[in-house]
A and B are shown apart, each in its own frame.
Chain A
C-alpha cells in the first residue's frame, strides 16, 4: 500500500470512528435515564442531572483533547482514547447498582443524589469520548485552509452519529435488548474503533517507485 492510499484509508477510519463515538455517547446518555430511575426516579431533575454531567464531561473533554492534540499528535494516543473510554464504561455495567445504593443511602434529596451518581458513573468515560472530537480534527487537518472544512465534516459525522444513536436506542435497542447488553455493545464498538485505528496506523507502507507521490 502506498502512503497516500494509507492516508486516505486512515482518514476514512477516523471519520467512521468519530461517527461511532457520537453514536455511543447518546446511547449511553439515553440509557443513563434507565440506569438511574430505580434509585432516583424519572423526575425532570434526573434528566437534568444526566444532561448536565454529559455536557460538562464533553466540554472538558473537548478542552483537554484539543490541548493534547497540539503536542505531538499521534494515532496511538487517539486509539488510546477509545480504549480508555471503553474501559471506563465498564463500571456502568458492573458497579452501577453498588454505587447508586451508596449514594441513595447517604444523599436524601434525589436531585443531588442523581447528580452525584451521574458524575461517578459517567464523568470519566464521557470525558474521554469528548477528547476524540478535537483530536480527530487535528489528525485530519493537513493545511490551514481546509481546517474549517474538516472541522465541519467532523461535527457533521459525530452529531449525525449522536442523532442515530438516540433514535435507534430509544426506538429499538431497549425493546430488543437488556440495558447491560446494549452497554456491552457500546464498549465493543469503542474497542473496535480503537483497534481499527491502530491496525491502519501499523500497516506497512510500500515505497512507491517511479510514481509521483503527492504529499499532503
Chain B
C-alpha cells in the first residue's frame, strides 16, 4: 500500500505523459520489427540486425524501416529459400546447368553460395562482399562456411571484376545480387560496368542479375542490359517486386532447351523450395518497358534518384 502511494506521488502528470509516449514509441518499434533481435552488428556502411520469429531467422540492413529483409532462413528447414528472388536466381542453371567457376557479388546471409556449393561441390565459388560485417554475420548466424572451394573477398565488386578482367580470369556463372539494400551502388548499373562483366564471362557463361521491377529505374536498367547483351531473359514472378535478368554473350537458348534443362534439375532443387519447372515459361525476352529510356553510363547513372 505504501509503495503504491509513493509511486503515485512520485509521478506527476508530465512524467506520466513522457512515460506513456515512451511506451507508445516502444510498441511502435516492436510493431515494426515484430521479431526478437538476436544480434546487432554495426559496420561502417549500415547497422545489421539478425532477428528471429516463428523459426524464421532474418538478416536486416535497416530495422526501423521494417520490410527490409535481406535474407531469411527457415530454421526448421535451413535449405529452403524463403524469398522468390533467391529461388529465381536458380533459373540461371537453365542456361548453364553445369557451372564450374561461380562469381557472386553480394553475400547477404550466404544462402545462395551455400546452396550452390551443395549442388556443385566441385565448382569454385568466389563471393565479393563490400562489408566485412556481413561476412561475419553470415558465418555466425546463417551457417555460411568458407572452404577451399568457397572463397570470400571483402572488396567493392566493380573493383574486383575490373582486376579479374585485367588478370584474364573467366567465370561461367555470375550472380549480381548487390542491389537489394537501401542504397543502390550506381557504379554497378552502368554500361561500362556490364562491359567489364562481359570481359570475365566465358563464351557460354551466364549472368544472373537480381534487380527491381518497379520504379523508373526498370526501363533505364533494361535498356542498359540490352545495349550490352542484346536480348536477355526477364524473369518475374507475381508476388515479388524483384525481377531477375538472365543474360548471355551468345544467343539465348530456346524454350525447348530451357525445358529440357529443367527436367533433371527438378528433383535436386526441390529441397530448396525452387520449382524450376515453373521458370521456363516465365522467361520472356520481349521488352515490356519504355525503350526510349536512356542507357545508364558512368557519366549518367542517377540510379538512386530514379529508383525512388
| A and B co-occur in one complex | yes
List the count of A-B residue pairs having beta carbons below 8 Å apart.
57
Q: Mark A97-109, 1 if CB is under 8 A from B, else 0.
A: 0000000110000
Interface residues in A69-113 by Cβ distance below 8 A to B read 104-105, 110
Stretch from B21-29, B71-79, B155-163, B255-263 that touches the partner? B155-163
Collect the chain B residues with CB atoms within 8 Å of residue A38's CB: 158, 162, 187, 190, 192-193, 298
Most A Cβ at <10 Å: residue of B155, B156, B159, B190: B159
B305 to chain A, nearest CB (A): 5
Partner of A37, one of B155, B187, B302, B305: B187
Q: Please, how many angstroms separate the alpha-carbon atoms of A44 and B154 in the complex? A: 13
Q: State whether A37 touches B158 (Cβ < 8 A).
A: yes
Closest residue of A by beta carbon distance from B196 = A38
Contact, CB under 8 Å: A174 / B302: yes
Set B44, B130, B190, B299: member contacting A41, Cβ < 8 A = B130
Chain A residues within 8 Å of B, Cβ to Cβ: 34, 37-44, 104-105, 110, 171, 174-175, 177-180
- The verdict on B185 contacting chain A, using a C-beta distance below 8 Å, is yes
Contact, CB under 8 Å: A42 / B156: yes
CB distance from B200 to the nearest CB of A (A): 15
**Which B residues are CB-close (under 8 A) to A34?**
186-187, 298, 301
Alpha-carbon distance between A169 and B187 when the two chains are bound, in angstroms: 17
In the complex, A41→B187 CA distance in Å? Answer: 7
Are B302 and A43 in touch, CB under 8 angstroms? no
> For the complex, is B45 an interface residue (Cβ under 8 Å from A)?
yes
CB neighbors of A among B59-77 (8 A) = none
Against A, the Cβ 8 Å flags (1 = close, 0 = not) of B155-182 are 1111100100010000000000000000
Complex contact B156–A44 (CB within 8 A): no
B120 interface residue, CB < 8 Å from A?
no
Closest 6 CB pairs between A and B? A41-B156, A37-B187, A178-B299, A175-B302, A41-B159, A44-B44
Chain A residues, CB < 8 A from B186: 34, 37, 42
Contact A174 B305 (CB under 8 A): yes
**Cβ distance B103 to chain A, nearest Cβ, rounded Å:** 16
**Given A174-B302, A180-B299, A40 and B156 contact (CB-CB distance below 8 Å):** yes
User: B159: nearest residue on chain A (CB-CB)?
Assistant: A41
Bound complex: CA of A105 vs CA of B165, how far in Å? 12
Q: Which residue of B lies closest to A48 (CB)?
A: B44
Residues of chain B from 16 to 68 with CB closer than 8 A to chain A in the complex: 44-45
**Closest A residue, CB atoms, query B158:** A41
